[in-house]
Amino acid sequence: MRMKRRPRIIAALATVSLITACSGNDDGDGGAEGDAAGYPEQNITIVVPFSAGGPTDTVTRMIADPMAAALGGKIVVRNVEGAGGTVGAGDVARAEPDGYTVLMHHIGMSTAPALYKDLGYRPLEDFATVGLVTEVPMTVVARQDFAPATFQDLVTHVKANAGTVTLANAGIGAASHLCGLLFQAAAGVKLQEVPYQGTGPALTDLVGGQVDFMCDQTTNTSGQITAKKIKAYAVTTPQRVQSLPDVPTTAEAGMPQLAVSVWHGLYVPADTPPEIVEKLSGALKTALADQAVIDQMAKLGTAPVTAADATPDAHRAHLEEQLTTWQKIISDAGVQPS
């Protein structure tokens, strides 16, 4: 509390005010608790740094309403596209640390420092972690009329036709880009990469036959695969995906090096009061335990993380580990920061 001196105030009242202010400050947490006590008092915005309809957007919209219900407020989802998710992430890093601007990001939070020279934010220093959300398998998929019949056929085909085969992705740093890098490294081939402003438009062109193949998350491809609008070659996880039981793993198909899943997490700007972070984390846990959310995720080949992983500490530890892991992978792949 800040006191304003007023010449005409009587001494006794000034003394009482001073004692009250000091005792409030001596509490050590009165201000932060005050900030959190009425939270939220306005709409919360979750920024998705990718296009609407993409996999990260899909996951965000699954949990937004149950989180809002748990918080007793309203959550608005806003898509801010650009530069592999770095534009939206930068906006949140610079936002007021009051809990009303939240970021949903994926594995790209841990890869961006190795991919961009002037990122404009630091993942560990400029954000507070709220909790992990889900870890989504990826699929290697192609236009329905693409010639290779199996994953092994695909590898043989791209090696023989590297100059003409097109590999789509959602932009530098996107999960589809990272998976594509790993595929090319494992296959020992350099392909024509076609970057898009988001996974949604990339997948649209794949369905339309404008590009040959790509990696994409099951949250985006499962429906298109089951509808036979695109061809699935493999999933990039150690076990097969329950919603796509006939699709082999990359390990089964002879490329165990291509192992990647896309984890998602919620962030707020650094210096957001810990009590608000905990409220958001608690609402996230509630949303992830919602049966409707569990069922929706299962249909898309994924599942919520455990309650233990939907915490700020678990999320931060995972981010630290992933930053180190992807720095090495990207460096070994010979990718130069842009």
Task: State the pLDDT at residue 22.
Answer: 39
196-215 pLDDT, tens per residue? 888 889 999 999 999 999 99
Task: State the pLDDT at residue 10.
Answer: 35
Which one has a higher pLDDT value, 4 or 116?
A: 116
Q: Which residues pair with 103 in a beta bridge?
A: 47, 267
With a CB cutoff of 8 Å and minimum separation 6, the contacts of 158 are: 165, 187, 189, 191
Task: State the pLDDT at residue 214.
Answer: 98
Q: What would the CATH number be for the domain defined by 40-136+263-332? A: 3.40.190.150
Q: What stretches of 133-217 show up as alpha helix (H) in DSSP? A: 151-160, 175-187, 199-207
Can you tell me whether residue 159 is helix, strand or coil?
Answer: helix
Residue whose structure tokens are 């350099």: 190
Residue-wise DSSP of 26-76: HTSSHHHHHHHHT--SS-EEEEESS-TTSHHHHHHHHHHHHHHHHHTS-EE
User: How many angstroms separate the CA atoms of 277 and 97, rounded?
Assistant: 10
In the chain, what is the greatest distance between 2 CA atoms, to the nearest angstrom? 91
**Number of alpha carbons in the 13 Å side-chain half-sphere of residue 230:** 31
User: How many angstroms separate the CA atoms of 113 and 249, rounded?
Assistant: 29
pLDDT above 80 (res 2): no
pLDDT above 90 (res 46): yes
How many residues can be counted in the chain?
Answer: 338
pTM for the model: 0.78
Q: Where are the domains of the chain?
A: 40-136+263-332, 137-235
270-327 pLDDT, tens per residue? 999 999 999 999 999 999 999 999 999 998 889 999 999 999 999 999 999 999 988 9
Please report, to the nearest 10 degrees, the dihedral formed by the alpha carbons of residues 305, 151, 208, 301 taken in order.
Answer: -20
Type of residue found at 217: Q
User: How many angstroms separate the CA atoms of 120 and 257, rounded?
Assistant: 32
Task: State the pLDDT at residue 243.
Answer: 87
Can you tell me whether residue 266 is helix, strand or coil?
Answer: strand
User: How many angstroms separate the CA atoms of 264 and 71, rounded?
Assistant: 21
Task: State the pLDDT at residue 123.
Answer: 98
pLDDT above 80 (res 36): no
pLDDT above 50 (res 7): no
Task: State the pLDDT at residue 34.
Answer: 53
What is the CATH architecture assignment of 137-235?
3-Layer(aba) Sandwich (3.40)
Count CB atoms within 10 A of the CB of residue 259: 16
User: How many angstroms separate the CA atoms of 94 and 107, rounded?
Assistant: 20
Task: State the pLDDT at residue 304.
Answer: 96
* Fold match between domain 40-136+263-332 and domain 137-235: yes
CB 199 within 8 A of CB 139: no
The chain-wide mean pLDDT, for the chain, equals 88
Residue-wise DSSP of 101-136: EEEEE-THHHHHHHH-SS-SS-TTTSEEEEEEEEEE
Confidence tier at 127 by pLDDT (50, 70, 90) = very high
The mean per-residue pLDDT over the stretch 217-243 comes to 93
The mean per-residue pLDDT over the stretch 43-72 comes to 95
CB 292 within 8 A of CB 55: no
- For the chain, percent of residues with pLDDT exceeding 90: 70
154-199 pLDDT, tens per residue? 999 999 999 999 999 988 778 898 899 889 989 999 999 999 888 8
pLDDT above 90 (res 60): yes
